[in-house]
Amino acid sequence: MRLHREGTPTLLLVTAIVCFGLFALLKWPVLPAFLSIILCFVLVAVLLIVVWFFRVPSRSLPKDDLAIYAPCDGKVVVIEEVLEPEYFKDKRRQVSIFMSPLNVHINYHPIGGTTTYYKYHPGKYLVAWHPKSSTENERSTVVNRHPKFGEVLFRQIAGALARRICTYASEGKPATQGAEFGFIKFGSRVDLFLPLDAVVGVTIGQTVVGAETVIARFKH
């Protein structure tokens, strides 16, 4: 299993803490044996969870110009028509995906084309499912322009646990559908803002897989 480069500092820190904790429990047994054994298992479990969090899955995306793919793993929590105030400043179809700490946290370009807009916003750390998290939390906004079907906006949003958003997209650079454009650490949300005539193919509560599940399709 390959691990994501964003996990290197966290993994080194957690590994050091776990190793020191195991060494201390075995070298200086001040607790009853059964408590020491339980704590050893807890420390190892924490390390395994962190390793699992930074896993990089192997995914093969079929090219489909009409498809708008999921930008991340998670559960669909919002599908509604809204006014998008930052870039489009008009009505769009919003689809929001909540990422739990156990999901893969890599973010993928939902469409191909060119990145026409990127902006980072500092902000709060409300829980990711809070209605105001999309406009008040720390977030990064990216817009890709498809050469035929127009623009799609997608926004990485920090949550109560997610305190670092990594975005690799930049304005004027090519965007490859299904390629990695960012990473969010420890639980978060990604919003998609689609044209109103895009045909949404997911439902509230549905579990989606980044770069595999088709969220919507452009109209011909």
Distances in Å between the Cα of 101 and the Cα atoms of 109, 128, 162 are 21, 12, 9
Q: Is 188 a catalytic residue?
A: yes
CA 78: distance to chain centroid? 15
For residue 131 the two structure tokens come to: 């209605």
Closest by Cα among 196, 158, 156 to 71: 156
What is the C-alpha to C-alpha distance for residues 37 and 20, in angstroms, rounded to an integer? Answer: 15
Region of 105 please: left (phi>0), alpha (psi -120 to 50) or beta.
alpha
Cβ contacts of 141 within 8 Å, gap of 6 or more:
86, 87, 117, 118, 119, 121, 153, 154, 155
Residue in 96, 133, 140, 188 annotated catalytic: 188
Q: Is the dihedral of CA 62, 75, 143, 146 positive or negative?
A: positive
What residues are labeled active site?
188
